[in-house]
Amino acid sequence: DADVTQTPRNRITKTGKRIMLECSQTKGHDRMYWYRQDPGLGLRLIYYSFDVKDINKGEISDGYSVSRQAQAKFSLSLESAIPNQTALYFCATSDLNTEAFFGQGTRLTVV
């Protein structure tokens, strides 16, 4: 089983719809992250969390919200999806002195 699991893997949704991307990890790490990847822009940080009670905005948090339901679960929501949120989304987890471990990604298309 993968250390970091993202669901769904692919999603097409309509403009204005609410959508949630889910992430769970079995590494036992405290830190979890959500990134989006766009061609030529690399990975940009949306939100990150050091533990269940500590959630921080990244560089591009507008239009997104997150929930850390448990140490192992970190979900990303788009309250009202728009086409420029079409991207590849990655969840990752790490600890204080480890590298980040990534999920397989969710390809989201907003039409």
Partner 1 sequence: AQSVSQHNHHVILSEAASLELGCNYSYGGTVNLFWYVQYPGQHLQLLLKYFSGDPLVKGIKGFEAEFIKSKFSFNLRKPSVQWSDTAEYFCAVNGYTGTASKLTFGTGTRLQVTL
Tell me which residues touch partner 1 (CB under 8 A): 31, 33, 35, 40-45, 48, 50, 56, 58, 90, 92, 94, 96-97, 99-100, 102-105
9/14 with CB nearer partner 1:
9
Question: How many Cα atoms are found within 13 Å in the side-chain-facing hemisphere of 100?
Answer: 17
Instruction: In angstroms, give the least distance from the CB of 102 to partner 1.
Output: 5
32/81 with CB nearer partner 1:
32
Tokens representing 98 are 């480890």
Terminal Cα distance for the chain, rounded: 32
20/45 with CB nearer partner 1:
45
Neighbours of 18 (CB within 10 A): 10
